[in-house]
Amino acid sequence: MRVAAQVVYYTRSHPGNNHRGRIVRAGRARPVALKQKDPSTISAQSPNIIPRGEHGISRSLISPNALKVLNRLHQAGFQACLVGGGVRDLLLGREPKDFDVATDATPEQIRQQFRNCRLIGRRFRLAHVLFGREVIEVATFRAASDPETEDEDETQVSDAGRLLRDNAYGSIEEDAWRRDFTVNALYYDISDFSIRDYVGGMEDLRAGRLRIIGEPEARFREDPVRMLRAVRFAAKLGFTLDPELQALIPQLAPLLQDIAPARLYEEVLKLFHGGVALNTFEMLRHYHLFAPLFPLTEAVLAEEENHFPHTLISHALANTDSRVAEGKPVTPAFIFAALLWEPMRREMPDPDQPDMSEIQAIQIGGARVVTQQARHVSIPKRFSLPMREIWSLQPRFLRRQGRRALQLLEHPRFRAAYDFLLLRCAAGEVEQELCDWWTEIQDQAPEARAERVAAGRPRKRRRPRRRKPRSEHG
């Protein structure tokens, strides 16, 4: 789908509703002046309006449930627009992952319009309209940050410049300047099916350029996760980061250390489950963003020999990308197992010491690594436990004789552990012959499997029969 090259410019006034959201105060933070666009000048900006006939977005390409939300808000007298990645992806001819709506209705007013609505969040107050498994996220237009007049109940900024809460509502023009990247600040207006561009997003979309809205350093300090989003979007869309971002991100990368590990876990899933995990990984390392997320792994990569463990990680991420492209499921446990395998091996005790097996050593090393990693990116137990099982099963692949080999084939984690064994083989850590053996035996019938593992089993020596002692009178 081609993006229309012609853009029509005209001025259209939008008074907007400056609703002021109220939330319960949960601590104070001293406001810090951020270099934002002057709020008093935003409403005077003339948006670029791309009429319906000059862009490629059709309502047939939009989720029917998102259209229901847009139309009902519009019919109720509110301004309602599709915004964000959904608009961006439709213009690029991609299938959107989700559809987000922005409106001048407050969260409480949105809830009045939809019985299937729930309000979430304290840092950012949002409405979720539920349609079975599909969730349409609806956000109220946000006002530009103005430290001179802001109410601490509505907007709070930390000493480092990080935005702690943002529930000051404003107009669509102000909302556009509050968004992160220009290509994510395009609005599809349901009232006339036009696209509204307040920040030059269409130009950047055509140029394949990722540019942040406002003063970059202030925006990254406001929310350091935006640096991860910049890399994720650049890798996903094949865009080039604006030169100013390329120079700034490595300098500000340490700010990620102040972000909650649970939030970074969610961001890591987005980074590595988007179908371009390998390219994303290389970009994270290039811009020094990988070290704050996985410092133990980064330390190992800095000392790698013969491209190991970099090769293992690269194979794991490439495998993940292939599965995403084929529509197959992927599990975070497998990615974390690859990322932390070598750090775990460095943390495990010597398995040759007395009363210590290799499996026990792996279990101890795994516990140590999970504890240390949780300080940076948390790993829920539903994934850390399978990850450690994948590791613990690796020594069992060396045992190819007897009942234990057959039991391993029936283990619930066998397939994931086997796939991990193949990665180790591709990285040159284990012999190809070992992987070939386990590959072949999976395709054999149960009887043939039993014969094959029995063939290598040492024959039991028959105990000599004890003779009864002869009787003296025998």
Residue range 432-442, pLDDT digits in tens: 999 999 999 88
On whether both 376 and 409 belong to a single domain, the answer is: yes
pLDDT: is 448 or 340 the higher one?
340
Any bridge partners for residue 181, and if so which? 212
Task: Name the residue range of residue 147's domain.
Answer: 8-214
Tell me, yes or no, whether 464 lies in a domain. Answer: no
The pLDDT value given to residue 450:
81
On whether both 358 and 234 belong to a single domain, the answer is: yes
The pLDDT value given to residue 18:
37
The pLDDT value given to residue 460:
46
Tell me, yes or no, whether 468 lies in a domain. Answer: no
Distances (CA, A) of 270 to 228, 258, 324: 10, 19, 12
Both structure tokens of 328: 């197959």
Give the span between the Cα atoms of 344 and 381, in whole angstroms: 17
In b/e form, how buried is each residue of 177-216, taking b as 16+ CB within 10 angstroms? bbbbbbbbbbbbbbeeebbbbbbbbbebbeeebbbbbbeb
Predicted confidence (pLDDT) per residue in 14-30, tens digit: 333 333 332 222 233 33
Among 25-39, 76-90, 340-354, 445-459, the range scoring the smallest mean pLDDT is 25-39
Tell me, yes or no, whether 470 lies in a domain. Answer: no
Among 1-15, 135-149, 415-429, the range scoring the smallest mean pLDDT is 1-15
The pLDDT value given to residue 307:
62
Q: Which of 156, 187, 214 finishes a domain? A: 214
Catalytic residue annotation: 98, 100, 180
**CATH code at position 32:** 3.30.460.10
The pLDDT value given to residue 149:
44
Among 220-224, 236-240, 399-403, the range scoring the smallest mean pLDDT is 399-403
Q: Which of 167, 182, 214 finishes a domain? A: 214
pTM of the model: 0.79
On whether both 424 and 448 belong to a single domain, the answer is: yes
Percentage of residues in the chain having pLDDT higher than 70: 80
Per-residue confidence at 31, pLDDT binned at 50, 70, 90? very low
Q: Which of 214, 246, 263 finishes a domain? A: 214
pLDDT at 204 over 60: yes
The pLDDT value given to residue 22:
29
On whether both 128 and 176 belong to a single domain, the answer is: yes
Strands (DSSP E) along 1-43, which ranges?
8-9
State the chain's mean pLDDT as an integer: 84
Provide CB contacts within 8 A for 350, sequence distance 6+.
356, 361
**CATH code at position 264:** 1.10.3090.10
On whether both 320 and 435 belong to a single domain, the answer is: yes
Residue with tokens 């935005």: 163
**Tally of domains within the chain:** 2
